[in-house]
Amino acid sequence: MKKLAHQQAGELGEALALAKLNSLGHAAYASPAGAPGHDLMVVVNGSALSVEVKTRQFIDRETEITRWPVLMATKGDADLFLFVALNITTMKPTFYLLTNEQARACHRSDPSRERSGNCLPSAVRAAVEANNFGALQ
């Protein structure tokens, strides 16, 4: 089994996230390609919220994922962050939906690199339960 290219995995993660949000009864839409700061829009209680989707893939265990790269300088205005752990063997995603505040709490910058940073999976999993979409209420 071979992992997908990063761009392929990202596009697949966004498509799976869009399908999941719509399956939950929300009106969700893909943002135009290259839209700054977010990938999807979801309407919740009459308000449009921006969603930044970050996808990482694994073959055997979710713990293979060591980080979700997030550049808060350009993505930090998103209302929600949806981290996708994609089992590439089964194509089954696990979703972690965080508010902006929760994502910022999970974010770690690299002081030696101005435009970098990651949300660590252990911090993400400590912040929210897998497949819990309570932040949409």
Domain annotation for the chain: domains and CATH numbers: 6-63+75-101 (3.40.1350.10)
pLDDT in tens, 48-94: 999 999 999 999 999 999 999 887 766 778 899 999 999 999 999 99
- Per residue, what are the HEC states of the chain? CCCCCHHHHHHHHHHHHHHHHHHCCCEEEECCCCCCCCCEEEEECCEEEEEEEEEEEECCCHHHCCCEECCHHHHCCCCEEEEEEEECCCCEEEEEEEEHHHHHHHEECCCCCCCCCEECHHHHHHHCCCCCCHHHC
pLDDT at 113: 60
Residue-level pLDDT at 71 = 78
- Predicted confidence (pLDDT) at residue 97 exceeds the cutoff of 70: yes
The per-residue pLDDT for range 75-87, each reduced to its tens digit, is 778 899 999 999 9
